[in-house]
A = this chain, B = another copy of it.
Amino acid sequence: MKSLFIIFILLPLMAPSGRAQPLTPKTQKPNIIILFCDDLGYGDLGSFGHPTIRTPHLDRMAAQGMKFTNFYSGSPACSASRYALLTGRLPVRSGFSWVLNPQSERGIHPKEWTLAEGLQEAGYATGCFGKWHLGTTQKAYLPLQNGFDEYIGLPYSNDMIPPQWPSIPLIEGNDTLEMDPDQTQLTALYTQRAINFIKKNKENPFFVYLPYAMPHVPLHPGKSFAGQSLRGAYGDVVEEIDWSAGEILKVLEEEGLAQNTLVFFTSDNGPWIIKDEQGGSAGLFRDGKGSTWEGGMHVPGIAYWPGTVAAGSVCSQPASTLDLYTTCLRLAGQRIPEDRLIDGKNIERLLKGEERQEEAPFFYYGAQALHAVRKGPWKLHIKTSSQTGKEYFEGKLPLLFNLHTDPSEAYDLAAQHPEIVRALKDEIERHQQQLTTEPPFFENDE
């Protein structure tokens, strides 16, 4: 009898995974962490095929979580992409369609109800540590007025600096902490602030939004990463982000929070390929940032939530940063706004490894204008553009691609499938009609 007793004591301690389990969940509502890169391409992580950039922590995050292989940002450019993530709406619905400059009069519209506002109302502690880029010329545009309890970071892109622009501030809360901060210390700073925030708020549900300054040019790796990557400075800054993700996962483990926290890693748009070796790689996709070819918006996605998201799972159904808005609000038991159109879908089913029943069309916006639509495997381009100046199909439009069999958009099938061209054009027409009947918050004048 004594020996049996010992077995019963030992087994629970070792099962199921050998990791320490918290005795009671700290909270019912899951914590949410969004790690958001700037200009990281689909092909720039080890687990997404890069031959020389080393990303062991993100690869482990994918191996122990879910890898999204058809994940999209809401826009091929900075500000609009962040707008989409935080509002769950196609940026065009606000009239917010591209990149704000430091002196822009525009900012996030006061009528928007951000993910942070929703989670704050649901009892979450909310922190933003990194690049904002949703307006700076009015206090109302800054994070603290848009749902965040804490903020530190650059208010816009790290290349918006002298001589073209005035000096860039590092903002803390609503105040300037420092002008022209040392950019080599930003990833470490954001990471440390996020970790402090997690430790401080571990008894509450919390939301951490960590929009890195990197790998946007100019590339500024931290001291211990500079010169370490085979891939050069671009690899250095990606490997530093990988380190940062590893530190975040480590604190979740140490604090016993991992099983009650969804961590989602992705990028705001594709790689800035016109920057040559200073820009990243879209892998097998065509083009990059600033374009509605796949390379511009098809980005890596990784969800990590031990015990909820199955280890080693892969989701190849389309999903986007817009969906994170709706999904995170639902996970928090929060309502989805009904007084405006929300484009994000709840992807809890995908996180649980189930199929999504009906696939909504996905619209690709370039600067202001709708360029393309995807439904199921089919993508129709009605306009195309590229920062490289290349015209890949010599002005031939519309173009139709099957992204399942031809993810690189190499073989135009418009002539073979006029019925699909027509159906997708109808989707576009319905969508544009809706934009007229529900006009954007702003005039589309950027």
Contact = CB atoms under 8 A, between A and B. Distances in A.
Interface in A361-389: 377
Nearest to A60: B312
A400 to B, nearest CB: 13
A402 to B, nearest CB: 8
Interface in A280-305: 281-284, 298
Interface string A202-231: 000000000000000000000000000011
Contact of A10 (B2, B7, B63, B406): B7
Contacts of A234: 405
A50 B282 CA distance: 12
A46 B69 contact: yes
Contact of A49 (B6, B42, B312): B42
A282 B43 CA distance: 12
Nearest to A281: B284
Interface stretch (A122-130, A320-328, A407-415): A407-415
A14 B11 CA distance: 10
B54 A316 contact: yes
A388 to B, nearest CB: 11
A6 to B, nearest CB: 5
Contacts of A6: 3, 6-7
Contacts of A46: 67, 69, 314
A181 interface: no
A59 interface: yes
A404 interface: yes
Given A281-B407, A284-B43, A50 B69 contact: yes
Contacts of A51: 42, 69-70, 284, 298, 316, 407
A406 B277 contact: yes
Given A42-B49, A52-B407, A63-B63, A230 B316 contact: yes
A265 to B, nearest CB: 16
A276 interface: yes
Interface in A389-441: 402-408, 410-411
A315 B405 CA distance: 30
A386 to B, nearest CB: 15
B49 A70 contact: no
Interface of A: 2-3, 6-7, 10, 14, 42-43, 46-52, 54, 56, 59-60, 63, 67, 69-70, 230-232, 234-235, 276-277, 281-284, 298, 312, 314, 316, 377, 402-408, 410-411
